[in-house]
Amino acid sequence: MKPMRHHVNKILAFTRFSPRDLLVTAAPATLAIAALCLLAYWLVDPMPPRVVTLATGQENSAYEVFGKKYAEALRKHGIQVQLQRSQGSLDNLQRLNSGKVDIAFVQSGSTSQDEAERRGLMSVGSLFTEPVWLFLRDSVKAGELKQLTGLKLNLGPEGSGVPRLFRQVLDANGVTPEQITASALDNTPATVELLEGRIDGLVFSSAPDAPLVQMLLMTPGIRLFDFTQAEAYTRRLPFLSHVVLPRGIVDLGRDMPAHDVHLIAPTATLVARGDLHPALVDLLVQAAAQTHGGAGWFQQQGQFPSPRYTEIPVAHEAARFYKDGPPLLQRYMSFWLANFFERMWVLVVALGALILPLSKVLPPLYVWRIRSRVFRWYGQLRAVEQALAAAPSEQRDAIHAEQLAHLNDIEDKVNQVSIPLAFADELYGLRSHINLVRQRIGDAATG
């Protein structure tokens, strides 16, 4: 075993290049490149956060229901979504602007494009229409909004955005807020007040999936107000759209409702802060497509999510999704693996900026390191020659003998020097020069 190992070591000692010298020469540059790449990887395009906060809405609202679906969708990719109940759209906007949440459901008409841009907000997309539901007791014989004067209506808390919206609708009908008795209860307690007969009606805006909507549509003694002038409202208030609740959609067997009901509807939008990581925007818009992409009471298959119906600028990643679909890598890889490769361009740029100049510096350094093993002995030879030249005549023999012994010692050490075969001529040149100096010592001694 030992002879074989010795033979292998001899072969490695006489290769055309020296891996050890190459490693020592390149190690500082390699470490510098690795450090700079890591710095670029973390600072230029940091990893997506593992936790985000989503502001939803009131208890039993559609916002809360959909918030739970988003949390479940992102949990599959290792992202925890912390849900925060709120009063509604305006409250969510305030939380976004103050940095308390990362994403939130916001109703169209709640802000303006200029204000959204100033606040650094971006839309992931419009998700669904959320009609204005005005439920009244059957005893209230109001067919027009102007007939609501003198009634007790719950408009919801101010943070929901519905009070502001409904006051605009009343104002379009010439009804002032003072002409109705308005309360500001949350939807659930307001529903109890309506069923107990302590208020005449309640207003809220929500998708038809909301449990309260489903329950009130089928509750005896409660009727849904028909906005027969819905198309006119959309012309007066552009953020509204006209939707129709088809006859029998609630219960075909019982023919509920018994006729088409016209409704006015703002659009629910998923809004994010401008500093939300782009990879999370990709995930959110994909979750939106899964959650809201089907057909519904007021939408066709594939109508939502959409970059339309919102006054808030659409995020670049969301706009790309609506145009081209999911990112290519995310179609075939897990989210985190695809995100890693998408971020690799940062490393490519960093490596290109460093490797190109270093490729011109490292080869000369490697050559200098190899040749320095040979060239440093020329200093010793020069010292021997200087000692011979400066030797006094009376001490010449002793100095010659001393320098000859020194020269023999140099030769023994040079014979142990190992350099790649590509530089063997340097080593053999040194040996011939040692012999030349030895010959000069011999000639001087005999002379």
- The domain segmentation of the chain, as residue ranges, is 2-39+346-446, 46-128+270-342, 131-265
270 alpha carbon, distance to own chain's centre: 17
Structure tokens given for 321:
């999704």
The reply to whether domains 46-128+270-342 and 131-265 share a CATH topology is yes
- Domain 46-128+270-342 coded CATH 3.40.190.10: yes
Q: What is the DSSP letter of 341?
A: H
**CATH code given to domain 131-265:** 3.40.190.10
d(CA 309, CA 13): 74
Burial degree of 14 (CB within 10 A; 0-12, 13-18, 19+): exposed
- Using DSSP, state whether 238 is helix, strand or coil: coil
d(CA 15, CA 424): 10
pLDDT per residue as tens, the chain (447 positions): 455 555 445 444 444 556 666 665 567 767 776 776 677 666 666 778 999 999 999 888 889 999 999 999 999 999 999 999 998 999 999 999 999 999 999 998 888 899 999 999 999 999 999 899 999 999 998 999 999 999 999 999 888 888 989 999 999 999 998 999 999 999 899 999 999 999 999 999 888 878 899 999 999 999 999 999 999 999 988 889 999 999 999 999 999 999 999 999 999 999 999 999 988 999 999 999 999 999 888 888 989 999 988 889 999 999 999 999 888 778 888 887 777 777 666 666 666 666 677 667 767 777 777 777 777 888 888 888 888 788 787 777 788 788 888 888 888 888 887 777 777 788 788 888 888 888 877 776 665
- Answer yes or no: are the C-beta atoms of 206 and 94 closer than 8 Å: no
Structure tokens given for 26:
């390149």
Q: Shortest CA distance to 100 belongs to which of 82, 74, 87, 115?
A: 82
Centre a 10 Å sphere on the Cβ of residue 336 and count the other Cβ atoms it contains: 13
d(CA 114, CA 120): 10
